[in-house]
Structure 1
Amino acid sequence: MEQKINIAITTFSNEDSAVACSRNLIQKKLVACAQVSGPIRSFYQWESKILEDQEWRLVLKFSGSNERVVREEVMKSHEYDSPQWIYWDADTNESYGKWVNAEG
């Protein structure tokens, strides 16, 4: 039987910030899993300029009931003026979904 979980993605300008955010969310039991990867190359438009930066991606997995509080916690610790926050509901296998929903 499938289970529903939430997945969210954001980026940070450096690894230390991404790791600190991950640890904070795990310690507060708001997410079951936080994965930091990078560096990645990001290309984007900001104030009518095309920019390229090195960033660190943070992927979070958590219970659907926690989305608002997880988002607020991430935004409090974020250094960007307009931080990325993309999340969606995902189907997963029963054992993994039960673990995510129990832990975060």
Structure 2
Amino acid sequence: MTVTTTVGSLDDAKRLARGLVEAKLAACVQLDAIAASVYRWEGKVCEDAETRLTIKTLPARADALRAFLDEHHPYDVPQFVALPCRASDAYGEWVKGEVA
């Protein structure tokens, strides 16, 4: 499973990524440099640069990962989009070993 979230700075992205891996909630977190986001917040259309985190985990860890983001994410309403994925057997076993 992959989960995506975004933050406003590379420092926040690195902090979250390290925390997720250290807590064994993610086997790997990839940081995508800058994404331009256009969204509505509190009735206003906003444009901001964000860093996207792609988090590799297991479905069994999704609730704990969400709770971690709720506690440590700098946004009031953090993005949490979880998608099932198909991985190679070897990669899937590696993820299991890292987050089990």
Fold shared per TM-score above 0.5: yes
Do structure 1's residue 64 and structure 2's residue 59 form an aligned pair? yes
Q: TM-score, normalised by structure 1?
A: 0.89
Per-residue deviation, residues 29-66 of structure 1 (Å, max 9, x unmatched): 11101111121110111122211001111110012210
2:50 equivalent in structure 1: 55
Task: Give 3-state SS (helix, strand or coil) of 1:60's partner.
Answer: strand
Q: Give RMSD over aligned pairs.
A: 1.0
Higher relative contact order (CA 8 A, sep 6+): 1
Question: Bigger CA drift: 10-19 or 73-82?
Answer: 73-82
Per-residue deviation, residues 46-92 of structure 1 (Å, max 9, x unmatched): 12221100111111001221010011111211111111100021111
Q: Which runs of 5+ in 1 are unaligned?
A: 1-5
Q: TM-score, normalised by structure 2?
A: 0.93
Task: Give 3-state SS (helix, strand or coil) of 1:24's partner.
Answer: helix
Among all aligned residue pairs of Structure 1 and Structure 2, give the percentage whose two residues are the same amino acid.
Answer: 33
Q: Which has the higher strand share?
A: 1
Contact 2:69 2:78 survives alignment (8 Å): no
Q: Which runs of 5+ in 2 are unaligned?
A: none
Task: Give 3-state SS (helix, strand or coil) of 1:81's partner.
Answer: coil
